[in-house]
Chains A and B, each alone.
Chain A
Amino acid sequence: MSNKRTNQEWLHDLNASGALQEAAVADLRDLLLRAALYFFSRNLGDFQGLNQDEIMQRAEDCAQDALIAVINHLSDFRGDSKFTTWAYKFAINIAMMTARRERWKGVSLDELASSEEKYFNEWMIRDKSDGVAPEQSAMQGEVQAILRDVIEYDLTEKQRRVLLMMVFNDVPMDEVVRHLDTNRNAVYKMLHDARRKIKSSLQARGFEIGETLSLFDASG
């Protein structure tokens, strides 16, 4: 069985030559295909409009790309997990990017970006809770005012765009990455910096986690 190789056997066979290497590559490709298909099977909603053969072809492409990534990163394998677990993460990563690209392929993120302001303001109005005590309502309003001020005035333009796309419009990270022609690390850093600024502003006004969450939680 292909997945019964030990870690050392995987490394040995993949680094070998001839039939031994070919067999290992074929076995690895089969496992990566199954990992990609497994991700797809959990996210079939991303593939609406595609038939079975088209989805299978996407999975085959993912497996091929993942195989190349694994081979290129073989020297990075530290042996702190099963080799197959380490290899699957490449297939899952590529499968996720593929699935999200399919789901969002008809959506213009430029148009979405231009309507971010509207979404944000609508959310602020919609989220005001009815039926809560006046004092609680006032504090909710204070928290929302702080959030709005930080987002509008303290964040950089890129931080603001990324935050509004991902947090307020549920755009997946990989689509934001593609739209901005950047990478996950850069997008994550923008979100991290935005969170730090908002946290700092809330705390400066005396809001801490428990109290702030209960303000909104108690409003049902």
Chain B
Amino acid sequence: MKKHHFERWLQNIFETEDEEISCSECFDSISHFVEVELSGQNPIAKMPQVKQHLDQCPACREEYETLRDLGRLEDEGKMPSRDDLHDLIH
């Protein structure tokens, strides 16, 4: 385990809560969380348990980051077309 991974893991251990939401509960809320963030509000204040889960769960965090970035592109009218994406896949 690399040193920064170990430090991150230690931090995760100390930030563990007795009650944490599940991956399914995170999935249920993640589009709302992203929507709040993209509207310029603070989703952490509204949904601290989702933020806590995202800090502990790499899989849900990666999905969140992809959804957020895709949502931002769509809001900006820059959603890549199928052809654009096809050209990126090689």
Contact = CB atoms under 8 A, between A and B. Distances in A.
Contacts of A198: 13
B53 to A, nearest CB: 8
Interface in B1-52: 1, 3, 5-7, 9-16, 18, 20, 22-24, 27-28, 30-32, 34-35
A112 to B, nearest CB: 15
A151 to B, nearest CB: 12
Interface stretch (A19-27, A154-162, A165-173): A165-173
6 tightest A-B CB contacts, nearest first: A81-B35, A209-B14, A37-B85, A184-B23, A81-B31, A173-B59
Contact residues of A: prevailing secondary structure: helix
Nearest to A185: B22
A202 interface: yes
A168 B89 CA distance: 31
A123 B2 CA distance: 9
- Among the interface residues B14, B22, B63, B90, which one has the most CB atoms of the partner chain A within 10 A? B14
Contacts of B86: 37, 52, 56
B82 A185 contact: no
B62 A96 contact: yes
Contacts of A40: 85, 89
Interface size class of B (residues with CB under 8 A): 35 or more
A208 interface: yes
Given A34-B82, A184-B24, A172 B18 contact: no
Contact of A85 (B13, B22, B35, B63): B35
A5 to B, nearest CB: 13
Contacts of B20: 188, 192
A82 interface: yes
Interface of B: 1, 3, 5-7, 9-16, 18, 20, 22-24, 27-28, 30-32, 34-35, 56-59, 62-63, 66-67, 70-71, 74, 79-82, 85-86, 88-90
Interface in A17-74: 30, 33-35, 37-42, 44, 52, 55-56, 59
Interface of A: 3, 30, 33-35, 37-42, 44, 52, 55-56, 59, 76, 78, 80-82, 84-86, 88-89, 92-93, 96, 123, 127, 167-168, 172-174, 184-185, 188-189, 191-192, 195-196, 198-199, 202, 208-209, 212-213, 216-217
Contacts of B74: 3, 82, 84-85
Given A52-B86, A89-B27, A184-B23, A127 B6 contact: yes
A203 to B, nearest CB: 8
- Among the interface residues A59, A84, A88, A209, which one has the most CB atoms of the partner chain B within 10 A? A88
A17 B65 CA distance: 35
A95 to B, nearest CB: 8
15 contacts: A37-B86, A37-B89, A85-B34, A88-B31, A92-B70, A93-B27, A93-B63, A167-B1, A185-B23, A192-B16, A195-B16, A196-B18, A199-B13, A208-B14, A213-B11
